[in-house]
């Protein structure tokens, strides 16, 4: 009996350590954070600062506009079952992926009763590349009319401090876009919309 208990304990310890490792940043990622450009360091620092609280809408309609800048938006999301998503028709039938695959177009799960989302209206002052950063796992689409804009993969990866994901999108001035947020397990999410500097 003691041998069985001892063997079980030996198996349990590596599993516990492995589970904890899944939720921490590796030393390599932490080192990358210290080597960021001043512009990206400002983005990371802004996520720790104060923010403006706004409420997401259940569907695109008349709403105040947010603009890019080094200021955090504290977005109050709605139950996903109340949100009329504009993305692909199969959006609500796909499964929510693991944390690591969220940036690879993971969709919200069928069980939407415990998930949150909504819409935020966005305009930009000039044509360019814009970074949308979030502090937690969720699906981010930028909608132009009723069509999602493809994200740009050449925007440098940023996952430092409180920033969980950070995606780049090419946007144009004098257009009104909708940020479609979905698949969040939290009713609140912090966002930053910033212009990428020309390289």
Averaged pLDDT, 120-132: 95
| Residue 79 near residue 116, CB atoms below 8 Å | yes
pLDDT band at 36 (very low <50, low <70, confident <90, very high): confident
Residue 14 counted as domain residue: no
Neighbours of 175 (CB within 10 A): 12
0.85 exceeded by pTM: no
Confidence class for position 9, pLDDT limits 50, 70, 90? very low
pLDDT of residue 11: 46
Both structure tokens of 170: 């090419």
Of the CA atoms within 13 Å of residue 122, those in its CB half-sphere come to: 30
Would residue 149 count as lying in a domain?
yes
**Residue 51 counted as domain residue:** yes
Domain count, the chain: 1
Range of weakest confidence among 13-27, 41-55, 80-94? 13-27
What's the mean pLDDT in 131-152?
A: 93
Mean pLDDT over 95-100 rounds to: 36
Show the domain range for 83: 25-195
- Give the confidence band of 13 by pLDDT, cuts at 50, 70, 90: very low
Is residue 15 in a domain?
A: no
């Amino acid at each position: 009996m003691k041998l069985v208990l001892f063997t079980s304990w030996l198996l349990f310890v590596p599993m516990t350590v492995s589970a904890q490792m899944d939720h921490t940043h590796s030393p390599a990622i932490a080192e990358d954070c210290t080597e960021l450009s001043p512009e990206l360091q400002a983005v990371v620092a802004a996520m720790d600062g104060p923010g403006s609280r706004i409420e997401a809408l259940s569907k695109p309609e008349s709403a105040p506009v947010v603009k890019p800048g080094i200021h955090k938006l504290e977005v109050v999301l709605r139950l996903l079952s109340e949100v009329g998503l504009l993305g692909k028709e199969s959006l609500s039938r796909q499964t929510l992926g693991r944390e690591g695959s969220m940036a690879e177009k993971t969709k919200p799960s069928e069980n939407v009763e415990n998930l949150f989302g909504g819409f935020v209206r966005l305009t930009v002052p000039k044509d360019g590349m814009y970074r949308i950063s979030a502090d937690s796992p969720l699906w981010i689409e930028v909608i132009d009319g009723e069509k999602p804009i493809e994200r740009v993969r050449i925007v440098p990866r940023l996952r430092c401090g409180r920033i969980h994901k950070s995606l780049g999108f090419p946007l144009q001035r004098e257009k009104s876009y909708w940020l479609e947020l979905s698949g969040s397990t939290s009713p609140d999410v912090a966002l930053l919309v910033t212009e990428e500097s020309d390289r």
